[in-house]
Amino acid sequence: MITAAEIQPEFESLLERKAFERIRREAFDYIARGAGSEATMKENLGAFSKWKIRPRVLRNVAEIDLSTTLFNRKLSSPFLFAPIGVQRIAHPDGELASARVAKATDVPFVVSSAASYSMEEIASELEESTRWFQLYCSLEDTVTKSLVNRAEANGYSAIVITVDTPVLGIRETDAHNQYSPLEEGDGCGNYLNDPAFRALLARPPEADMKAALQKQIDIIDQPGLDWDELKKIRRMTKLPILLKGILHPEDAKLALEHNIDGIIVSNHGGRQLDHCIASLDALPDIAQVIQKRIPILLDSGIRTGVDVFKALALGADAVLLGRPFIYGLAVNGEAGVRQVIHKIRHELETSMALAGARTIQEINSDLLFNS
Ligand SMILES: Cc1cc2nc3c(=O)[nH]c(=O)nc-3n(C[C@H](O)[C@H](O)[C@H](O)COP(=O)(O)O)c2cc1C
């Protein structure tokens, strides 16, 4: 019997196809594929196709301004790099290459807990550029605290807590390939040198790497995380805290009640829960609850500048770019990532001009039509 894992991938873009040709099959599958039957991944893209732009004309679009503000900082465009771990599986320079593009293009960079390089190494590439740290709350409080402290000490200006990963989703392809980038040591940049993490090991990583990597896998996240536990992290830092992986309006309400500073509507790119609501479909009800009190970001399915436009029109303040920049990284390293950012920015600017929206604030649901 042929399993889902063995089915040849259908490429969603030329860029994805090129990435497939460039990197090792297991790494490509890890990046491109999703949980279970991949219904969530398909929903994510399908949700964007349901919406059409209903343009306004004769609005003098000679000047288009893509800039916006998040947490009192000006962004030159309404998107950020999503926290994507293990970037070395796409290119040897991994996060260092994408961080260089983040700096050059003025796009904030969100560093993953499971980055291939350490947050210190990535920060030194980013210099003064805006960066946030994505936190997997560890089973060990000492490790969580140490990661947060290091983020603060290295100029990270927000903590993104990922809340849709209490356990890992079922990824059939990775199981079929018997592939785990964490086991191979491609996602340990933040752990192996962390003093609190090292204190948990019977022998240092230099003496027993396999055991150290297994320890990271065992403690990277905690299934027991709940709203009460989150209060601990609130007490650890004064940085703004965003929750990544909110899809239900009731959870958005709870986030407000718990003084969370921002939310990211996300289903982790369809890598966690199969048959999950598309992020874009979840957005309008959440925007209704939030009523602009805190920023709403969205990811999962953003492929073009037109998608950015649609997400903003439905209530997002900004979006996170995921797989497209990793495909760019796989195809041509730093230059590949830069091309992706330029392309998405150009598409957004052009769609705004053609839809009659001169500023990010002018993008609203009146410019959309649900077909
Ligand atoms: C290879 C890969 C690794 C990822 N690693 C992380 C991670 O370490 N932490 C996290 O919060 N999300 C992670 N994500 C999810 C992204 O942050 C984002 O939610 C997702 O890529 C959005 O879906 P899209 O890329 O299909 O648009 C990862 C996604 C991919 C593709």
Residue 308 CB neighbours (<10 A): 28
**Ligand 1 centre distance from Cα of residue 31 (Å):** 8
The rounded Å distance from CA 269 to ligand 1 centre is: 6
- Ligand 1 neighbourhood includes 299 CB (under 6 angstroms): yes
Tell me phi and psi for residue 295, to 5 degrees: -65, 145
Nearest atom, ligand 1, residue 31 CA? 1
Structural domain boundaries of the chain?
A: 11-370
Q: Which CATH number, 3.30.565.10, 3.40.50.2000, 3.90.180.10, 3.20.20.70, labels domain 11-370?
A: 3.20.20.70
Cα separation of 311 and 298, whole Å?
A: 7
262 Cβ closer than 6 Å to some ligand 1 atom: no
The ligand 1 atom at the shortest distance from the C-alpha of residue 322 is 25
Whether 308 is in the pocket of ligand 1, judged by its Cβ within 6 Å, is no
Per-position pLDDT tens, the chain of length 371: 666 667 777 899 999 999 999 999 999 999 999 999 999 999 999 999 999 999 999 999 999 999 999 999 999 999 999 999 999 999 999 999 999 999 999 999 999 999 999 999 999 999 999 999 999 999 999 999 999 999 999 999 999 999 999 999 999 999 999 999 999 999 999 999 999 999 999 999 999 999 999 999 999 999 999 999 999 999 999 999 999 999 999 999 999 999 999 999 999 999 999 999 999 999 999 999 999 999 999 999 999 999 999 999 999 999 999 999 999 999 999 999 999 999 999 999 999 999 999 999 999 999 999 98
Query: What atom in ligand 1 is closest to the CA of residue 266?
Result: 19
Structure-token pair, residue 362:
């002018």
Whether 244 is in the pocket of ligand 1, judged by its Cβ within 6 Å, is yes
Q: Which long-range contacts (CB under 8 A, 24 or more apart) does 278-282 make?
A: 278/40, 278/43, 278/44, 278/46, 278/47, 279/44, 279/47, 279/247, 280/44, 280/47, 280/48, 280/51, 280/310, 280/311, 280/314, 281/43, 281/47, 282/247, 282/248
Q: Which contacts of 21-26 are long-range, i.e. CB under 8 A and separated by 24 or more positions?
A: 22/330, 22/331, 23/89, 23/90, 23/330, 24/89, 25/177, 26/174, 26/177, 26/179
Provide the percentage of residues in the chain whose pLDDT is more than 90. Answer: 97
Ligand 1 pocket member 83 (CB < 6 A): yes
- pLDDT for 318-369, tens place per residue? 999 999 999 999 999 999 999 999 999 999 999 999 999 999 999 999 999 9
The residues annotated with a catalytic role in the active site are 268
Residue 110 contacts residue 183 (beta carbons within 8 Å): no
| Residue having the nearest C-alpha atom to atom 21 of ligand 1 | 322
pLDDT single digits (tens) 297-319: 999 999 999 999 999 999 999 99
Ligand 1 within 6 A of 302 CB? Answer: yes
Question: Residue whose CA is closest, atom 4 of ligand 1?
Answer: 84
Cα 229 from Cα 286, distance rounded (Å): 23
